[in-house]
Amino acid sequence: MTVELSDVRCLAVLGLRRSGRPAALLARRELAGVRVVALDEGDAPPKDAVAELRAAGVEVLCGADALLPEGADLLVKSPGVPDESRAVQEALRRGVTLWSEVEIATRFLPNRVLGITGTNGKTTTTELAGAIFRDAGLPVAVGGNVGYALAGMPGEIAADAAVVAELSSFQLEHIERFRPDVAVLLNLSADHIDRHGTYRGYADAKLRIFENQADGDVALLCADDQGIRGELAAGRIGGGGRRRWFSSAPGREEGPGGEPLVAGVSTGGELWLDAGGARRPLCRAADLALRGEHNLQNSLAAAAACCALGVPPESAAGTLRTFGGVPHRLQVAGVVGGVTYVNDSKATNVDATLKALTAYSGPVHLILGGYDKGAAYDGLAAATEGSVRQVLLIGATAPELEAAFAARRAAGAPRATPWVVCGDLEAAVILAAREAAPGDVVLLSPACASWDQYRDYEQRGEHFLELVKRMRGADAS
């Protein structure tokens, strides 16, 4: 069921944290005469959020009182709230329209939007795109699933600023008219099965980024990704945007089906971009500040997307040479005793960890484990063979991971990777430090979410950084 904002008389917002609070304030400010009710089903919502909302005239209902109001026409759901929520289930039962925060935010944003999604690389590509705009001296606002909630942007950012938005499957599953001027799909592999139930549900949510695009919009996709190519072959990539491709395969000229490639890599290793029908060199792959094959793809995607919105290619090239990445994604925590410690806590799924392993050619001590999102680990266990010296298992998924590595050994894999169950991150770091030799890499790239032992991946990464900092201090004393 759909609804026009002009017809809404009672709007509810579910979730009072980073997305929900600005969404409720936006609705209260922009929708005159509309009753706005903020709901939080948790027992301890942020006190500052409750106070701010009530001061603005928003009704706030928490805990057991957080029931969908009678007469609600629209429920705006924060991305962290699952569909099993009591209020969501009641909305579905009544036929109340359900929107994501992205949907209501962009109803009040006249700005051009560059939307970026995919299983992995979203944050890096989003922040890189923001840096490209800033370095070019062009106004930009970066947000969505990272940093600034989109609902906080209307009235706060300049009308000519480009909005670069990282978009998760949770944010895209309840859009209605959201239409990015440029939509980027980096890759597709299994993730968040615990939330979506099946890979099909997850992939369908991701693909919604294209569905409302029309002539003049750009749909930018990775030609190298097997998941994306499979969706294309099955006819599931819709929308009316101009479909364009990027590829990190040296010498590749076209995307699937002969469709245009707008960004690629020459056989000599130079990144290039098609700008108005003319191929423009960017920089050599070896000159990129970001490491790893996946970051070569992220760099091409960011450059092509930004240039589609008017950034000069030469300016984008300069940023590619200097942008060093984001916290918790292949972040060097320090070197202790000749051993490099790398924080890749943001690798919360198997594919992200596989991509991280491509960044290192020397012996790796890999820390794996955390909260189970329904992934299979057999392929990961096989992929570590020959490049990973040992795996250190932590968190709730340690038994499942151990079973995957044990199966490889039982099957007689000649280079089966040895593993140790450590329990927690501190124990894993201590063991890795004891056994690593100069030139080795200790890589925290868990392939799992953090919610079993940490609030989020940032807290897990900060703990790793603190552990390495302590070792550096001891090493210097």
What amino acid is encoded at 56 in this protein?
A
Q: Which of 192, 328, 346, 365 is catalytic?
A: 192
* Nearest alpha-carbon partner for 117 in 208, 181, 194, 197: 208
Strand partners, 76: 13, 99
Judge whether 183 and 219 are in contact, CB under 8 Å: yes
C-beta of residue 30 within 8 angstroms of C-beta of residue 106: no
Q: Which residues contact 317 (CB under 8 A, 6 or more apart)?
A: 271, 281, 282, 283, 303
Listed in sequence order, the residues at least 6 apart from 175 whose beta carbon sits closer than 8 Å to its beta carbon are 99, 100, 102, 103, 208, 212
Q: What is the Cα–Cα distance from 349 to 372, expressed in whole angstroms? A: 9
Query: DSSP letters of 111-175?
Result: S-EEEEE-SSSHHHHHHHHHHHHHHTT--EEEEESSSB-GGG-TTTS-TTPEEEEE--HHHHTT-
Distance CA 281, CA 317 (A): 8
How far apart CA 456 and CA 454 sit, in angstroms, is: 5
CB 445 within 8 A of CB 407: no
Instruction: Classify the C-alpha dihedral 187-222-318-143 as positive or negative.
Output: negative
Q: Catalytic residue among 111, 145, 187, 295, which?
A: 145
Show the tokens assigned to 215: 């002539």
Q: Is 77 known to be catalytic?
A: no
Name the catalytic one among 77, 122, 174, 463.
Answer: 122
Alpha carbon 82 to its chain's center: 17
Please say if 196 is a catalytic residue.
no
The closest alpha carbon to 269, from 258, 282, 256, 260, belongs to 282
Residues 6+ apart with CB under 8 A from 50: 16, 60, 62
- Can 111 be counted among the known catalytic residues? no
d(CA 164, CA 146): 10
Tokens representing 73? 């026409």
What type of residue is 123?
Answer: T
DSSP 232-301: HHTT----SSEEEEEEEEET--B-GGGPBEEEEE-TTSEEEEEETTEEEEEEEGGG-SS-SHHHHHHHHH
Catalytic site positions: 122, 145, 192
